[in-house]
Amino acid sequence: MTDSTRIIQVDALARVEGEGRFKVKLDGDQVVQSEFSIFEPPRYFEGLLRGRSFRDAPDVTSRICGICPIAYIMGACLAMEDALGWEIPQPIVDLRRLIYCGEWIQSHVLHTHLLHAPDFLGLQDSIELAKSNRSLVEAGLSAKKTGNRVMEVIGGRSVHPVNTRVGGFYSAPAPEAIAALLPDLERGEAQSIAALDAFSGFDFPDLEVDYLFVALRHASEYPIAEGRIVSSSGLDIDVAAFPDHFVERQVPHSNALQGVTVDGQPYLVGPLARFNLNADRLPADILALAERAGLVPGCRNPFKSLLARQVETIYAFREAARLARAYVPPEPSFVDAPLRAGIGHGITEAPRGLCYHRYEVAEDGAIVSATIVPPTSQNQRQIELDLVSTVERFHKLDDDDLQWRCEQAIRNYDPCISCATHFLKLDVERA
Amino acid sequence: MKPKLAVWKFSSCDGCQLTLLDCEDELLDIAEAVDIAYFLEATRTQREGPYDISLVEGSISTAHEVERIREIRRDSRLLITIGACATAGGIQALRNTQDHDSLRASVYPSPQFIDALATSTPIADHVPVDYELRGCPIDKHQLIEAITALLKGRKPTLPDYSQCAECKLAGTACVMVTKGIPCLGPVTQGGCGNLCPSIGRGCYGCFGPKEGANTEALAQELAALGAGERTIRDLFGGFTAGAPAFAEERKRHDR
């Protein structure tokens, strides 16, 4: 190590889900090493599923992450239904989209208001934020509660819902219970628009990164649980082709596998990718709100992912209210058709981005093999590259400020380390 | 001085500590009543111990975790385990009856990089625990009751009845008797709020075995309903598979 070496590192990154660290080593203004490590202990979900019934996959995989259980439940359901050849009627598809909106709301608002916003104001946490702007935090808590309430009314509880199953729902919620959500959903949209306005006044660090964006795209809707996989370089494929275009590789410093394209290119999934690839699927007035807030399609500033998340929150409230108004209980509430051996794929847009499931099922419904590719694994390599860009761009900051800026850059991803296997350790090393 | 609260994570999904952040109506009051000295999911602030109350999420599944829980115990006046991972080892405790090397190799192409123990065990296997909150995830009301009681210096009031009793209290018709659906209600501790039977689903044991659970009698009843060995094995091999009563019953059907 020379005199000009600096090491910026954090051993236990705060305000993320799970345990991670990072280390960046600098020589002058050049980054010589950047590692984002997920060292949350492995839990071997894919191994534990083998030999169990296909019916167990949604509940078991939901335990990968307490923040986004619906993403796992829905990915597993879609993949199993694909393997078994079950057709799911539209009322069940709509009810799934409604509970998924609830998850987007609670997960996004948790991140924007409680975990990420404090970075833009130089505050340690949302408790400090509540001291300076109590109404913003209270509005966030209220919006988050509504998202959780949607999950509770449909799913029984918000963390690891129990009412979902392969084929649909154990029972259909009563129309009155769904209708009772409407006032809170309408208030939530208004609160989210006000919050977007507040966030738009933040000082966004000036950084542009050359990303390969990847997201679902649907013929008419903003994508949540249906669509084809598209990218900013023109890819347009069926979900079943995911493994032909994207691979996971293992690196020694992490317990999560890193996703890259088959050509070895890192890529980005999540709100910024969804927004950039699907801005034309947003209602025109919501897109106008985004643009007024400084989020324009084509945005490549990772710090503005905060705005993308908030725009999606507004959309999720609007969409949830639309679905709630149109709600008719599915009858029956689930499909249960004959079993067959098969292979199935399922992809949905988890709050943090594409989440892929693939299962092979035997004739008797036993799981033969399971593969799950969570969004944070896919983003992990890009996070390391963002750290390089951030440190090179802001290397003149002192070590404490540079460390915080790096933490903030990682939190741009709302990384779910529990998902990715599970930790993030941050070190910045300066030569 | 305000009591110091710390929240710790071991091998888990974050869902139980999220339950604290999901107390939307109470969160700012809790933050005023205590000094949140360590809660990595919520704040950058990290204050040194000792801590008055430590909430511990997750199971012990690496050598480093074995060391860390001992340090936390030394630094904590009261230690409360929260959730199925911390109280029973979690779903990942299913590895305890499998060959760890082959399991690791089935998930990771280079298993030598993965540092983990062959078992996932509850916190109480390693250090003394003062109170435990069951569930996968824990129940929000129980969490608030526990924090409130401990701040007031009294013992938390937590349910000790079975899920079966919750059905009786809620007036839910027995899913096993009326629909022939396999249900762990008779042997599972109550406290979730009667979630599954009330929607026509059998209890799958999130809250773990009730004290004195007669799992063998239930397994015979499940077999009489037509449940196969694999179904019975996996019902007991769920999110509290590592709890001794369930682990033993599961083993009887694992062949």
Q: Which of A133, A276, A291, A286 is nearest to A200 (CA)?
A: A291
| pLDDT grade for A3, boundaries at 50, 70 and 90 | low
SS3 A352: coil
Return the pLDDT at A302.
Answer: 98
Return the pLDDT at A429.
Answer: 47
**What's the rounded mean pLDDT across residues B98-111?**
82
Return the pLDDT at A255.
Answer: 67
Give the highest mean pLDDT range of A20-24, A238-242, A257-261, B113-117.
Answer: A238-242
pLDDT digits (tens, 9 = 90+) for B23-56: 999 999 999 999 999 999 899 889 999 999 999 9
Q: Say if residue A343's pLDDT is above 50.
A: yes
CB contact under 8 A, A43 and B90: yes
Question: What integer best gives the mean pLDDT of chain B?
Answer: 95
**Chain B contact set for A130 (CB, 8 A):** 28, 31
For residue A236, the surrounding DSSP H or E stretch is strand A236-237
Could you tell me what percent of chain B has a pLDDT over 90? 89
Just give the CATH number of B4-152.
3.40.50.700
**What's the rounded mean pLDDT across residues B72-97?**
97
Taking a contact as any Cβ pair under 8 Å apart, which residues of chain B between 190 and 219 contact chain A? 192-193, 195-196, 199-201, 204, 206
Asked if A348 contacts A71 with a C-beta cutoff of 8 angstroms, the reply is yes
User: Looking at residue A401, which CATH number applies to its domain?
Assistant: 1.10.645.10
B118 near A CB under 8 A: no
Number of CB atoms found within 10 A of residue A135's CB: 11
Amino acid identity, position A227: G
Distance CA B176, CA B224 (A): 11
Point out the residue among B14, B45, B65 whose CB comes nearest to the CB of A66: B14
| pLDDT grade for A251, boundaries at 50, 70 and 90 | confident
Return the pLDDT at B140.
Answer: 96
Distance CA A314, CA A112 (A): 12
In the DSSP assignment, the letter for residue A111 is I
Domain that includes residue A155, residue range: 5-430
Dihedral sign, Cα of residue A43, residue A165, residue A141, residue A380: positive
Chain B residue with Cα closest to A15: B41
CB contact under 8 A, B116 and A46: no
A34-43, A372-381, B14-23, B187-196: segment of lowest average pLDDT? A34-43
CB contact under 8 A, B40 and A130: no
The first and second tokens of residue B104, run together, are 């690791």
**Cα distance from B167 to chain A (closest Cα, Å)?**
15
**What's the rounded mean pLDDT across residues A76-95?**
98
Which of residues B175 and A22 earns the better pLDDT score?
Answer: B175
The first and second tokens of residue A173, run together, are 């919620």
For chain B, the C-alpha Rg in angstroms (whole number) is 19
Return the pLDDT at A144.
Answer: 98
CB contact under 8 A, B15 and A69: yes
Chain B residue with Cα closest to A118: B43
Taking a contact as any Cβ pair under 8 Å apart, which residues of chain B between 221 and 250 contact chain A? 230-231, 234, 238-239
**Chain B contact set for A156 (CB, 8 A):** 195-196, 199
For residue A244, the surrounding DSSP H or E stretch is helix A242-245
Strands B51-57 and B4-9: parallel
Domain total of chain A: 1
Taking a contact as any Cβ pair under 8 Å apart, which residues of chain B between 88 and 107 contact chain A? 90-92, 94-95, 98, 103-104, 106-107
Could you tell me what percent of chain A has a pLDDT over 90? 81
Return the pLDDT at A392.
Answer: 92
pTM of this prediction?
0.95
Taking a contact as any Cβ pair under 8 Å apart, which residues of chain B between 65 and 84 contact chain A? 65
Distance CA B171, CA A368 (A): 40
| pLDDT grade for A424, boundaries at 50, 70 and 90 | very low
**Chain B contact set for A158 (CB, 8 A):** 22
**What's the rounded mean pLDDT across residues A221-245?**
97
CB contact under 8 A, A127 and B22: no
Residue carrying the six token digits 């110091």: B4
Q: Say if residue B248's pLDDT is above 60.
A: yes
**What's the rounded mean pLDDT across residues A225-250?**
95
SS3 A113: helix
Asked if A257 contacts A372 with a C-beta cutoff of 8 angstroms, the reply is no
Amino acid identity, position B124: A
Q: Say if residue B252's pLDDT is above 70.
A: yes
Could you tell me what percent of chain B has a pLDDT over 70? 100
The reply to whether ipTM tops 0.90 is yes
**Chain B contact set for A45 (CB, 8 A):** 91, 107
pLDDT digits (tens, 9 = 90+) for B163-181: 999 999 999 999 999 999 9
**What's the rounded mean pLDDT across residues A27-45?**
85
Asked if A89 contacts A330 with a C-beta cutoff of 8 angstroms, the reply is yes
Q: How many CB pairs under 8 A join A and B?
A: 177
Chain A residue with Cα closest to B138: A159
pLDDT digits (tens, 9 = 90+) for A260-296: 999 999 999 999 999 999 999 999 999 999 999 999 9
Return the pLDDT at A418.
Answer: 66
Return the pLDDT at A252.
Answer: 72
Distance CA A90, CA A219 (A): 16
CB contact under 8 A, B31 and A127: yes
**Chain B contact set for A13 (CB, 8 A):** 40
Phi then psi for residue B15, to 5 deg, are -65, -35
Phi then psi for residue A303, to 5 deg, are -70, -20
CB contact under 8 A, A422 and B25: no
Distance CA A373, CA A174 (A): 35
Chain A residue with Cα closest to B85: A63
Residue carrying the six token digits 């903003």: A222
**Cα distance from B129 to chain A (closest Cα, Å)?**
22
Work out the angle at residue A230's Cα, subtended by the Cα atoms of residues A417 and A167, and round it to the nearest 5 degrees: 70
Which of residues A85 and A30 earns the better pLDDT score?
Answer: A85
Point out the residue among B11, B109, B201 whose CB comes nearest to the CB of A41: B11
> A127, A128, A187: which to substitute to probe chain B, counting the most B Cβ within 10 Å?
A127
**Cα distance from B103 to chain A (closest Cα, Å)?**
6
A202-216, A253-267, B148-162: segment of lowest average pLDDT? A253-267
How distant, in Å, are the alpha carbons of A103, A380, A385 from that of A33?
A: 36, 15, 10
Return the pLDDT at A426.
Answer: 36
Q: Say if residue A195's pLDDT is above 50.
A: yes
Asked if A322 contacts A101 with a C-beta cutoff of 8 angstroms, the reply is no
Return the pLDDT at A277.
Answer: 98
Strands A424-430 and A20-27: parallel
Helices A182-200 and A134-155, axial angle in degrees (round to 10):
140
Which of residues A16 and B7 earns the better pLDDT score?
Answer: B7
**What's the rounded mean pLDDT across residues A23-50?**
87
Point out the residue among B14, B200, B231 whose CB comes nearest to the CB of A18: B14
Please list, in sequence order, all residues whose beta carbon lies within 8 angstroms of the beta carbon of residue A162, skipping any fewer than 6 positions away.
A59, A155, A156, A170, B195, B196, B199, B201, B204
Return the pLDDT at A95.
Answer: 98
Q: Which of A382, A370, A346 is nearest to A216 (CA)?
A: A346
| pLDDT grade for A431, boundaries at 50, 70 and 90 | very low
CB contact under 8 A, A60 and B204: no
Return the pLDDT at A425.
Answer: 35
B9 near A CB under 8 A: yes
Point out the residue among B24, B46, B108 whose CB comes nearest to the CB of A250: B108
Q: Which of A305, A295, A298, A274 is nearest to A386 (CA)?
A: A305
All structural domains of chain B with their residue ranges: 4-152, 163-252
Provide the b/e sequence for A108-125 (b: ≥16 CB within 10 Å).
Answer: bbbbbbbbbbbbbeebbb
CB contact under 8 A, A157 and B195: yes
Distance CA B38, CA B61 (A): 22
Asked if B46 contacts B38 with a C-beta cutoff of 8 angstroms, the reply is yes
